[in-house]
Structure 1
Amino acid sequence: MNANVHKTLVMQLQAGATDRFPVLAHLSYEADDPFAVTAVFSHDGHVLARWRLDREMILDGLRRPVGTGDVRFCPVSTGVWDELRMEFFGDARSDGERHHAVVYAWAPAVESFLRQTYDVVAPGQERIQVDDFLAEVISDAG
């Protein structure tokens, strides 16, 4: 069985109050890091942002608003289709505000990706190698 899941989706980056433009989102999941999904957003071959997201939080965000920090998700229904609204807050800008982006994904595509990750590691069956985790924490502290 493949211990990795990869999917590329076209999402919509909100620019201004209402305008959106397409960006590619490369989603990846690895059984070695069972709680996280990595999302890499790109446009015209340039990486715009890379985020490590909580897999369970993504699922919750498809059903209700979640998140209070740098990452927030909530479901949005336009009447035509269902979307996942993802809001990201980054580092401070020179004007004191924080970098901020809003991205919309077609909810069924995100759910399909999550189902594929559950085939690799079922919810509730996530395990981490404590020794490997501690070694990583200690090496980052040095």
Structure 2
Amino acid sequence: MSSLDLRLNTHFTLTVTSHLRLRVPTQFSYVRADPYAVHVCFTITPAQAVRWTFARELLDQGTEFSVGLGDVKIAPVESFLGQYFSIELESPEGHARLEGPIAPVKSWIAKTYEAVPAGSEPEFLDIDRFFEEPSGR
């Protein structure tokens, strides 16, 4: 079984305050052995990166309509500049709102579904991988 790894490098905009927005390098990754999840890394500074893991289906749906409860909320954003979507993340450490372009993310998500079609995820799930990883994932 291959551990296909799909990556997308792009940029999102982090809203720090109503007057301060930062352009943030962002990497989405998908590993076939973890077929239900997408991993996102927002590089805030060269020394500080924030990593999140959430459902691939949540990201896919969030490019079409508002989804999510709790820690992760994703929704399309209307803009005169083009099609964007937002990802809102919340943890005990704080809250962040990021916005980025829909088109490259939708294209990348489509590639993940080519690699692992919806409904076939159990065939690719590598249970042993989870037992080998340290706790606190």
Normalised TM-score (structure 2): 0.85
Query: What is the distance in 1 between the residues matched to 2:130 and 2:96?
Result: 33
Contact 2:88 2:98 in 1 (8 A): yes
The 3 A distance-change label for structure 1 pair 140 and 10 is closer
Partner of 1:27: 28
Alignment of 1:44-59 (within 5 A): 44-59=45-60
Partner of 1:101: 96
Q: Which structure 1 residue ranges, 4+ long, deviate > 6 Å from structure 2?
A: none
- 1:80 Cα shift? 2.8
The 3 A distance-change label for structure 1 pair 16 and 112 is same
Where does structure 2 lack aligned partners over 5 or more consecutive residues? Answer: none
Partner of 2:109: 114
Partner of 1:40: 41
- 1:104 Cα shift? 0.5
Where does structure 1 lack aligned partners over 5 or more consecutive residues? Answer: 93-98
Contact 1:61 1:75 in 2 (8 A): yes
Bigger Cα Rg: 1
2:5 equivalent to 1:4: yes
Question: Which letter maps to 1:10?
Answer: H
Normalised TM-score (structure 1): 0.82
Aligned length: 133
- Name the SS for the 1:113 alignment partner: helix
Q: Which moved more, 1:100-109 or 1:2-11?
A: 2-11
The 3 A distance-change label for structure 1 pair 67 and 52 is same
- 1:44 Cα shift? 3.6
Question: Which letter maps to 1:110?
Answer: V
